[in-house]
């Protein structure tokens, strides 16, 4: 690999970052809507979501349905909340101007990767290395 192929000093195009930010904000509000359907924010900690327990009725099959729906919603809520956290972290990095920097090697993450995966916080080289370890 020659020096020109290394991308440690390469800066991200500010227009791409602006585009990514818009995209992240859109995804964020979509996720918050989805979360609001199945959960509610805790009053004393608005960053935490609590899954609502569905009410279908009092018959045994309705109770079973409630539990099954609640279990599904719990799993969904965890996935959504993790996505939301990733997006908020990415938005924080944009604010602090550290967006696009790999958290492991400190190199610049390729713009192509960020456009495909805006919440990526590690470069593809580090990611591959870590995945191969496990």
Using CB under 5 A as the binding rule, the residues of this chain from 77 to 116 that contact Zn ion are 102, 104-105
Please report how close the Cβ of residue 126 comes to Zn ion at its closest, in angstroms: 3
Q: Cα(13)–Cα(29) distance, rounded to whole angstroms?
A: 25
The residue with tokens 């099954």 is: 68
- Which of 40, 34, 33 has the alpha carbon at shortest distance from 54? 40
Q: Which is nearer to Zn ion, 38 or 123 (CB)?
A: 123
Q: Percentages helix, strand, coil for the chain, rounded to the nearest 5?
A: 55, 10, 35
Q: Which is nearer to Zn ion, 73 or 121 (CB)?
A: 121
Q: Which is nearer to Zn ion, 70 or 104 (CB)?
A: 104
Region from 17-25, 81-89, 93-101, 126-134 binding Zn ion, contact rule CB under 5 A = 126-134
Q: Cα(32)–Cα(43) distance, rounded to whole angstroms?
A: 16
Q: Which residues bind Zn ion (CB under 5 A)?
A: 102, 104-105, 123, 126
């Amino acid at each position: 690999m020659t020096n020109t192929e290394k991308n440690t000093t390469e800066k991200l195009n500010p227009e791409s970052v602006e585009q990514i930010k818009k995209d992240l904000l859109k995804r964020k509000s979509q996720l918050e809507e989805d979360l609001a359907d199945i959960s509610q924010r805790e009053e004393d900690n608005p960053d935490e979501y609590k899954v609502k327990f569905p009410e279908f009725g009092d018959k045994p099959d309705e109770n079973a349905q409630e539990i099954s729906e609640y279990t599904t919603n719990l799993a969904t809520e965890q996935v959504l909340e993790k996505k939301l956290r990733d997006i908020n972290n990415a938005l924080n990095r944009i604010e602090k101007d550290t967006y696009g920097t790999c958290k492991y090697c400190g190199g610049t993450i390729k713009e192509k990767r960020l456009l495909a995966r805006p919440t990526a916080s590690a470069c593809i080289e580090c990611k591959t290395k870590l995945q191969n370890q496990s």
